[in-house]
Amino acid sequence: MGRLKTFLLISFLAFFPSCEKSINDIVTQSDNLLAEVGEKKIMVNDFIKRCEYVPRPTYCRGNNYIHKKIALNSLIAEKMFAIEFEKNNLILSESQKYLIQGQKEQGMRQLMLKKFGFDLVNIDFDEIKRLANLSKRTYSIKFITVDQNFSNLIKKRLENSNLEKIIKKLNLNIKISKKKITKNEDMIKEIHQILYSGEPIKNKIYGPFNFNNIETLYFEIEGWKTKVDVTEKQKKETWTIVEKDYREKFALKYYSEFVKKIMRGKKITYNVKSFEEFSNKLRKIYLIEKEKKEAVINNEIWEIKENTELLSFKDIKKNKDDILLTHDNKTYTIANLLDLVRKHPLVFRNKKTSEKLFSNELKYAIADLLRDFHITEKAYELRLEKNKTVTQIEQKWEDHIKSTNFKNQYFNLEKSNELLFNNTTMQVDSLQKVYSKVIKIDTDKFKKISLSTIDMNVNYSNQAYSKLEPSFPVLTNDHILDYGKKVKFGE
């Protein structure tokens, strides 16, 4: 074994995955069954998310009954195509199997966050009321930015002083700037905490706050104006937003404490030479142009083409037996790490990483990967792979991929889009008759569903798989529900 040197001890808790929708809202899976196609199920929540979290085609983007029926027919068609894939003994590729497993395990980690984070939060309604009032404030602040040397001088004079006095005493040639700030503006995290979570005081100097590794910032609050919500709708919206932020803040706090226990004593020790070579080769893959990268990733997952631009991975695999790092008393070769990456793509905290910063960002990405590995292990110990939410996530992605493969395998993709769509629509019509006896639809629930007509593409941020839902299945524009059996599930 090559000589290992301690290169970096990374804090595993510095960064947690988040999503643009509340994790608590998204993970919760209702038992509200909408339709069955044989053993395959479509839940009410799944129907809504497949229609709202990814773009629908224009022919079914509305909320009227016809458009909703087209959407339901499309999701039922996806299930039928998946069953046909299985009947024809078609096989998923290794990459597709890893993708499905990765989606399942990501769902398990989301449930861990719910179980050991969100479920532990108790709402303090008086605090929510206070925070709601703070959220409506527009602050008038004055501030200065100085380098580190001046910062040390200023820190000694913060007590019972203000910016003007300090600048005058130190004879500094610094201009005091002024700005009005609202809650939704970009600002340093600590400043946001002071203004919109703390108990801010007028004419007190706050700082220093580092913001670019060179300069530091100090500010004073001159005053504020508080906007008053007039209508009940405004009051409700403000309360909902503030309560959501409150829940997420404390959920992440509790979850951090839980993960800290899992990760206690676990370190990363890099083999410097192997890591440097690995980083240099991987940099060429991750820093290619955005358009090429997306095409490469797509080809790698779906294996549509035999020859992709990911030839660099073959170059990396030449050194697959090199020891890259040790972690938790186990050595990891390059091959071991790549096996983990196959079901958990590396996630870079800095989305605009440069060639110069790539090596350091890679270390953080590997740290987050190993942290998620241990969280997933704990989730398996808790048997969360059996949870209904997780099994539904796994089934949803598996059926989507199987359906897509069946469509690609049995329909001529060289044909025009219009002709291809007509062919798939005819096949769906035919399969509706074949599977009619095993299709059940709760039409009473279906009629009550209301869909947003806003075209959205909702993504997780900072997670291995960013897409919240599989793409909407473009398989049919049929709006007739003249097949299957009408039922009332749950009765």
Report pLDDT digits (tens) over 52-95. 999 999 999 999 999 999 999 999 999 999 999 999 999 999 99
Q: What is the percentage of the chain residues whose pLDDT exceeds 70?
A: 86
Give residue 31's pLDDT: 59
- pLDDT surpasses 60 at 194: yes
Given a cut of 80, is residue 24 above it in pLDDT? no
Winning range, highest mean pLDDT, from 19-33, 343-357, 460-474? 460-474
Residue 3 predicted with pLDDT over 60: no
pLDDT digit string, tens, across residues 325-384:
999 999 999 999 999 999 999 999 887 777 888 999 999 999 999 999 999 999 999 999
Q: Is residue 118 within 8 Å of residue 19, measured between CB atoms? A: no
Distances (CA, A) of 401 to 90, 106, 373: 12, 17, 24
For 245-277, the pLDDT digits (tens) are 999 999 999 999 999 999 999 999 999 999 999
Among 291, 292, 310, CA closest to 300: 310
Structure tokens belonging to residue 245 = 């932020």
Measured CA to CA, the distance from residue 291 to residue 286 in angstroms comes to 12
Length of the chain: 491
Q: 490 exposed, middle or buried (CB, 10 Å; 0-12, 13-18, 19+)?
A: exposed
Q: Is 105 helix (H, G, I), strand (E, B) or coil?
A: helix
Reading the block at residue 238, the tokens are 């403000």
Place of tokens 């220093």: 208
DSSP 290-345: HHHHHHHHHHHHH--SSS-STHHHHHHHTTTTSEEEEETTEEEEHHHHHHHHHHS-
Q: Is 104 helix (H, G, I), strand (E, B) or coil?
A: helix
Q: How confident is the model at residue 491 (pLDDT cuts 50, 70, 90)?
A: low
- C-alpha separations of 472 from 70, 72, 479 in Å: 12, 11, 16
Q: How confident is the model at residue 293 (pLDDT cuts 50, 70, 90)?
A: low
- CA-to-CA separations, 107 to 47, 48, 102, in angstroms, rounded: 18, 18, 9
How far apart CA 475 and CA 429 sit, in angstroms, is 10
Which band of pLDDT confidence, cut at 50, 70 and 90, is reported for residue 295? Answer: low
Give the chain's radius of gyration (CA, Å). 27
Q: What is the pLDDT of residue 18?
A: 47
pLDDT at 298 over 80: no
The answer to whether the Cα torsion of 279, 281, 287, 290 is positive or negative is: negative
pLDDT of the residue at 211: 78
Q: CA 184 to CA 196: how far, in whole Å? A: 10
Q: Rounded to the nearest 10 degrees, what angle do helices 65-87 and 44-52 cross at?
A: 110
Determine which of 95-99, 100-104, 163-167, 375-379 has the lowest per-residue pLDDT on average. 163-167
The helix/strand/coil state of 425 is: helix
- DSSP letter string over 341-376? HHHS----SSTT--TTTHHHHHHHHHHHHHHHHHHH
- Parse the chain into domains and list their residue ranges: 18-89+402-486, 137-226
Work out the average pLDDT over 292-316: 49
Residue 258: CA count within 13 A, CB half-sphere = 22
- Dist. CA 55–CA 317, nearest whole Å: 38
pLDDT band at 197; cut points 50, 70, 90? very high
| 107-162 confidence digits (pLDDT tens) | 999 999 999 999 999 999 999 999 999 999 999 999 998 887 777 777 777 777 78
Place of tokens 């909703």: 68
User: Per-residue pLDDT tens for 219-253?
Assistant: 999 999 999 999 999 999 999 999 999 999 999 99
pLDDT of residue 416: 58
Mean pLDDT on 169-185: 90
Q: So what's the pLDDT on residue 314?
A: 73
Strands 40-43 and 215-226: unpaired
Structure tokens at 195: 């203004």
Q: Which residues pair with 138 in a beta bridge?
A: 225
Predicted pLDDT at 412: 61
The one-letter code for the residue type at 208 is P
- For the cut 80, the answer to whether the pLDDT of residue 10 exceeds it is no
